[in-house]
């Protein structure tokens, strides 16, 4: 029972954090903004589908730049390359942080906006992974099938959040 409580706390923590992230400047308008409150059951359900279907894709194609503990290849030790990779990682994590699974942290405000941003950048516009990553990782493009899996997961997650 105690463990369950701790787990719920751990799951809620990132949401509380992201609610306080960023927009400090319009603290006064805080009460006007709608806050998304997601129950821990919903988070758990979305996260378990994430871990099963989506995380393996993201791990291969996004984690190098979007987690704070990337698994760099050996050539991170090549002078210059390491610097570039760490810079991409620093910027990538700042925009979208996948380190602690769902709910992700991001620059774009609430979790629904972050999910929309993923569909837009990675599925619709093919902007992610960036071109410079794709030319050095020939298999980094998202396949049509992966795009479909990601889109479906995001659609069903948003439906669960809105319910």
Shortest Å, Cβ 76 to ligand HEC: 12
Work out whether 66 is an interface residue with ligand HEC (CB under 6 A). Answer: yes
Work out whether 61 is an interface residue with ligand HEC (CB under 6 A). Answer: yes
Radius of gyration for the alpha carbons in the chain, expressed in angstroms and rounded: 17
Work out whether 133 is an interface residue with ligand HEC (CB under 6 A). Answer: yes
**Rounded Cα distance, 155 and 163, in Å:** 12
Work out whether 107 is an interface residue with ligand HEC (CB under 6 A). Answer: yes
Work out whether 122 is an interface residue with ligand HEC (CB under 6 A). Answer: yes
End-to-end CA distance of the chain: 27
Choose the binding region for ligand HEC from 6-14, 29-37, 42-50, 62-70 (rule: CB under 6 A): 62-70
Q: Count the Cβ atoms, other than its own, within 10 Å of residue 4.
A: 9
**Rounded Cα distance, 30 and 32, in Å:** 5
Work out whether 92 is an interface residue with ligand HEC (CB under 6 A). Answer: yes
Residue from 30, 48, 130, 143 that binds ligand HEC (CB under 6 A)? 130
**Rounded Cα distance, 64 and 70, in Å:** 5
Residue for token pair 């609610």: 19
DSSP string, 75-139: GGGSTTHHHHHHHHHHHHHHHEE-TT-SSPEESSSSHHHHHHHHIIIIIIS--SS-HHHHTT-TT
Residue from 121, 149, 151, 160 that binds ligand HEC (CB under 6 A)? 121
Going residue by residue from 21 to 60, which x/- string records binding to ligand HEC, judged by CB under 6 A?
-------------------------------------x--
Residues in the interface with ligand HEC (CB under 6 A) total 23
Applying CB under 6 A, the residues found at the interface with ligand HEC are 58, 61-62, 64-66, 88, 91-92, 95-96, 106-108, 117-118, 121-122, 128-130, 133, 142
């Amino acid at each position: 029972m105690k463990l369950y409580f701790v787990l719920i706390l751990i799951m809620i923590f990132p949401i509380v954090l992201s609610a306080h992230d960023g927009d400090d400047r319009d603290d006064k308008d805080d009460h006007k903004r709608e806050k998304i409150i997601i129950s821990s059951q919903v988070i758990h359900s979305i996260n378990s589908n994430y871990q099963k279907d989506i995380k393996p894709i993201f791990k291969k194609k996004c984690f190098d730049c979007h987690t704070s503990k990337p698994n760099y290849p050996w050539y991170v030790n090549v002078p210059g390359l390491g610097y570039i990779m760490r810079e991409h990682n620093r910027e990538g994590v700042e925009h979208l942080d996948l380190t602690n699974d769902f709910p992700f942290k991001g620059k774009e405000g609430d979790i629904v906006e972050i999910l929309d941003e993923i569909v837009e950048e990675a599925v619709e516009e093919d902007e992610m992974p960036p071109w410079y990553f794709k030319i050095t990782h020939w298999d980094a493009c998202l396949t049509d099938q992966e795009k479909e899996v990601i889109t479906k997961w995001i659609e069903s997650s948003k439906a669960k959040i809105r319910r």
